[in-house]
Chain A
Amino acid sequence: MEKVIYTAMSGAQHALMAQQIHANNLANVDTTGFRADFERVSSTALQGDGFDSRVLASELTPGTDFSAAALVSTGRTLDVGIRGNGWLAVQTAEGEEAYTRAGNINLESDGRLTVNGRAVLGEGGELVLPDYRDLDIGSDGTITVTPPGGGALIEAGRIKLVNPETSQLVKGTDGLFRLDSGETAESDENVILASGHLEDSNVNAVDEMIQSLQMTRNFELQVKLMQSSDEQAKLGNEMISA
């Protein structure tokens, strides 16, 4: 039997999977703090007897594009964008610490700060704010509030900001980042916050579009190969039966 059809199949399968990654990136082109995924593929030579032209395409974990995106001004004090490198620490539903670039912080009625429903972590655990009249977030994450009756400013806590090596970070199934060692990252003094700003998604829309088009054509090529392999096998069968 002709084996080339399986080789072509692995290529077509990769094209389908890559298409999903590009579709996911484009769907998140407007998601605050989203980091784009790369598709990655490697060649795997099949071991065993036979002519060694059988090299299949096999997918690897999509890598993550860690480049920073543009900050957009929103004018809302509780929106924070990170200038350059760094991450906000949040607590997942399981109580673990995870990292995100999304800075659209919400104030809950009990004074807790959350991002998309997950508690924002401060230096000593969850951040809880007292009643206040005005609030400021400094560039190092320090939150100061004016008490309801006015008067001296009170320091209400400090957002935990971390900056581990990007090579140690992995994207979880919930879209948050964690250290691959499972440990928690040390806070970093050099991360700079911009209050009143949010970070865009770092998806490059044009890039994704072109790659998606390329995958469509790539897919067609693989299907063409399957066709010609089918053709060959058919011709062989005809010769034998003749």
Chain B
Amino acid sequence: MQTALWVSKTGLAAMDAKLTTISNNLANVDTTGFKKDRIAFQDLFYQVQVQPGAQLDQQNESPSGIQLGNGVRVVGTQKVFTTGDYETTSNQLDLAINGQGFFQVELPNGETAYTRDGQFQVNSDSVVVNASGLPLLPQITVPENTTAISIGTDGTVSATISGQAEAQELGQVTLVNFVNPAGLAATGGNLYQATEASGDAVEGVPGEDSFGALKQYALENSNVSVVEEMVDMIATQRAYEMNAKVVAASDEMLQYVSQNM
């Protein structure tokens, strides 16, 4: 059967995958600390019909062979770790990382996950947790009768307790970084987990070495650019249509043969 049909099918599948990525990015345009995905395409292998330089006879060789492409494939998706815009809030446990780094939270199974989402709260056990209730690491417990919490740019957490003149130091928020953050596995819930490709987590103090400083009363917005995604969506939709048109054209050719010969 005609190969053009299958070639266009790979085009349709690729555009479909791209549209899924775009719609996921757009759906997360307002998700704190979200990093957009990008899809990478590559041309599929070429099929050799006639080898260039093949011997036609003892004296002559074919000046050029015939190589036909087989379409396109999705090589992978990639998280793009550019920083999002910062937004100031009035919540004292909202933290933004101004630069590189990830917060660490403890998963129910005891493993550590990483996030850029700094919307922290205090749970019923007085422990600082993220929006989904996972405790921040290193764990910080807020004492009773705390009236205000202040977090320095280096991650030092101190609390003002009613009846006490001096602020009490509660602990230190640390950040981690990876050699290759794009290699982290996104597990949903704004969380990432380390993989072979990302390398091991390197822990450090905010504002030192390559780690970004912390900003209290601020959050990092999603780094999705709406206009960019919309333009991408239009281009993808049209590319999809063109591939569908070639499917129709190939179909018409086959139909013509089967009905007229």
Q: List chain A positions with a Cβ less than 8 A from chain B.
A: 15-17, 19-32, 34, 37, 59-62, 74-76, 102, 104, 106-109, 111, 116-117, 131-133, 148-150, 170-175, 205, 208-209, 212-213, 215-216, 219-220, 223-224, 226-227, 230
Task: Indicate which residue in A22, A31, A109, A227 contacts B260 across the interface (CB closer than 8 Å).
Answer: A227
> Chain B's interface: helix, strand, loop or mixed, by majority?
mixed
What are the residues of chain A within 8 A of B41 when measuring CB–CB?
28, 30-32
Given the known inter-chain contacts A27-B10, A28-B72, please indicate yes or no for A219 contacting B260, CB distance below 8 A.
Answer: no
Tell me, yes or no, whether B257 is within 8 Å of chain A by CB: yes
A175–B179 Cα gap in the complex (Å)? Answer: 30
What are the residues of chain B within 8 A of A170 when measuring CB–CB?
52
Given the known inter-chain contacts A24-B70, A27-B8, A76-B80, please indicate yes or no for A61 contacting B65, CB distance below 8 A.
Answer: yes
| Interface Cβ pair total, 8 Å cutoff | 178
Q: List chain B positions with a Cβ less than 8 A from chain A.
A: 2-5, 7-8, 10-11, 14-15, 18, 38, 40-49, 52, 64-72, 75, 78, 80, 82, 100, 179-180, 182-183, 196-199, 209-210, 235-236, 238-239, 242-243, 245-246, 249-250, 252-253, 256-257, 260-261
Task: Indicate which residue in B78, B82, B242 contacts A29 across the interface (CB closer than 8 Å).
Answer: B242
Given the known inter-chain contacts A23-B4, A60-B66, A223-B256, please indicate yes or no for A32 contacting B239, CB distance below 8 A.
Answer: no
Extra contacts, 17 of them, besides A16-B3, A148-B210 (Cβ < 8 A), are A16-B253, A24-B43, A24-B70, A30-B239, A61-B65, A62-B68, A75-B82, A109-B180, A109-B198, A116-B40, A117-B75, A133-B100, A173-B47, A173-B48, A175-B42, A205-B239, A223-B256
* Contact sample, A vs B, 12 pairs, CB 8 Å cutoff: A23-B8, A24-B7, A24-B71, A25-B69, A27-B11, A30-B239, A106-B182, A133-B209, A170-B52, A205-B242, A219-B253, A227-B261
Is the CB–CB distance between B48 and A107 below 8 Å?
Answer: no
What are the residues of chain B within 8 A of A173 when measuring CB–CB?
45-48, 67
